[in-house]
């Protein structure tokens, strides 16, 4: 769970399973904000998961699976940080399977980049491999990439950055065990906002929100610097400054903005995407048509405005959008509703069926 979580919360989440539990579910997690955002809905919807699947859900620090202290469970979900030694983790999962023989082992991939870098190690020991985003064409996972990922390959080639080809291909059988976990909208600090009324899309004095951090690895710095530059080069368009500000000020600005520019980070999905939907700023983002995500929040010209990956049409897309305020209001409403409908209908509970529904 997140760092700074109250001791009483840690105690409640890690208490013993109920003797009446039909399906004991144990989540091993890394303690940071991104990992907590992914496992939070299991506890938010705990009562409904219990009613539907008989699930009794508990959480333990990831260290417990390495130390072999973890109790028996019918389903385990394992969520490390992407820096974890995956071969060592695979050995720990194998030991757990040998001791407790769980019905299902589910891996929750917290990495931003869309690849299966843990797949070779984990293939023998996991039944499901879940990510926030998957290539729509699953065969794309089997392509060696310049630099590291599909993003490094594209932007290294675009900006003339040299590098080595990295091969992250996995056994073909793992591709049949891939699944989706929800986008960042299920984070505890974002979810409540989508269960309120739509944001006001009336008077918004900022045309384009474009605070873009540019520091990082060479390809990332080149891509983000380019993204920041195209937003600055917009005569007649009122934009935000570039420097970093506090989260409350950031969200206040978004609520005053008509458009939000959200280039890729180290992966395609960004917190800023959901924050734009939440605040009524229309998302402008490099084309996302190559990915599946849950729920489907990236519908071109319905929930966001796509631009080319080289940003060559960025100015045209922004100016055309600002000239059509009614269309902007429609897109903002559709994007907010796509998030709100997923949460209001408790669709996460249904989406857990592959993990929690099985004959005992």
What gap in Å lies between CA 239 and CA 253, rounded to an integer? Answer: 10
Fold of 7-181+347-356: Rossmann fold (3.40.50)
pLDDT at 360 over 70: no
pLDDT band for position 11 (50/70/90)? very low
CA distances 136 to 122, 296, 309, Å, are 22, 12, 17
With a cut of 80, say whether residue 92 has pLDDT above it.
yes
* Residue 59: Cβ-neighbour burial (10 angstroms; 0-12, 13-18, 19+): buried
Tell me: pLDDT of 254 over 80. Answer: yes
Segment 338-352, tens digit of pLDDT? 999 999 999 999 999
Is the per-residue pLDDT at 31 higher than 90?
no
Looking at 122-276, which runs of residues are DSSP E strands? 128-131, 133-135, 145-146, 165-166, 178-180, 206-209, 257-261
Q: DSSP of 70-127, one letter per residue?
A: PPP-SEEEEE--TTS-HHHHHHHHHHHHHHH--SEEEEE---SSSS-TTHHHHTTT-S
pTM metric for this prediction: 0.93
Measured between alpha carbons, how far is 55 from 50 in angstroms, rounded to an integer?
A: 4
pLDDT surpasses 90 at 319? yes
Amino acid 286: pLDDT: 99
- Kindly indicate the confidence band of residue 1, based on its pLDDT and cuts at 50, 70 and 90: very low
One CATH from 3.40.50.150, 3.40.50.2000, 3.40.1010.20, 3.40.462.20 for 191-344:
3.40.50.2000
pLDDT band per the 50, 70, 90 thresholds, residue 6: very low
State the pLDDT at residue 358. 67
Q: How confident is the model at residue 13 (pLDDT cuts 50, 70, 90)?
A: low
Q: Where in the chain is the domain with CATH 3.40.50.2000?
A: 191-344
Give the mean model confidence (pLDDT) for residues 204-232: 97
Cβ atoms of residues 344 and 196 within 8 Å? no
Q: Rounded to an integer, what distance in angstroms lies between the CA atom of residue 281 and that of residue 255?
A: 7
What backbone torsions phi and psi does residue 112 show, to the nearest 5 degrees? Answer: -70, -40
pLDDT digits (tens, 9 = 90+) for 262-292: 999 999 999 999 999 999 999 999 999 999 9
- Residue 274's nearest CA partner among 189, 207, 177, 349 is 189
For the segment 151-210, what is each residue's pLDDT rounded down to a tens digit? 999 999 999 999 999 999 999 999 999 999 999 999 999 999 999 999 999 899 999 999
Q: Is the pLDDT of residue 84 over 80?
A: yes
């Amino acid at each position: 769970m997140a760092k700074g979580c109250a001791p009483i919360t840690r105690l409640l989440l890690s208490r013993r399973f109920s003797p009446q539990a039909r399906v004991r579910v144990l989540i091993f997690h890394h303690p940071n904000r991104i990992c907590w955002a992914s496992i939070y809905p299991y506890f938010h919807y705990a009562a409904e998961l219990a009613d539907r699947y008989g699930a009794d859900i508990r959480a333990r620090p990831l260290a417990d699976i390495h130390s072999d202290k973890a109790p028996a469970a019918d389903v385990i979900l394992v969520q490390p940080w992407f820096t974890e030694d995956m071969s060592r983790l695979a050995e720990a999962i194998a030991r757990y399977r040998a001791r407790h023989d769980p019905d299902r082992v589910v891996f929750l991939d917290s990495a931003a980049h869309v690849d299966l870098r843990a797949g070779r190690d984990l293939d023998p020991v996991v039944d499901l491999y879940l990510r926030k985003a998957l290539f729509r064409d699953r065969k794309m996972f089997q392509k060696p990439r310049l630099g590291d990922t599909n993003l490094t390959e594209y932007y290294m080639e675009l900006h003339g950055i040299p590098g080595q080809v990295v091969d992250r291909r996995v056994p073909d059988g793992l591709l049949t065990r891939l699944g989706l976990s929800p986008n960042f909208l299920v984070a505890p600090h974002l979810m409540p906002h989508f269960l309120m009324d739509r944001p006001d899309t009336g008077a918004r004095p900022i045309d384009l929100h474009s605070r873009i951090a540019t520091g990082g690895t060479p390809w990332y710095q080149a891509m983000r610097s380019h993204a920041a530059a195209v937003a600055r080069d917009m005569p007649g368009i009122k934009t935000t400054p570039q420097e970093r500000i506090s989260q409350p000020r950031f969200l206040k600005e978004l609520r005053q903005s008509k458009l939000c520019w959200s280039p890729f980070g180290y992966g395609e999905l960004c917190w800023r995407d959901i924050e734009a939907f939440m605040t009524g700023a229309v998302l402008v983002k490099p084309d996302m048509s190559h990915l599946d995500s849950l729920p489907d929040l990236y519908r071109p010209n319905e929930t966001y405005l796509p631009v080319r990956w080289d940003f060559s049409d960025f100015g045209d897309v922004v100016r055309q959008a600002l000239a059509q305020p009614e269309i902007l209001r429609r897109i903002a409403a559709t994007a907010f509703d796509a998030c709100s409908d997923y949460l209001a209908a408790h669709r996460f509970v249904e989406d857990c069926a592959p993990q929690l529904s099985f004959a005992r």
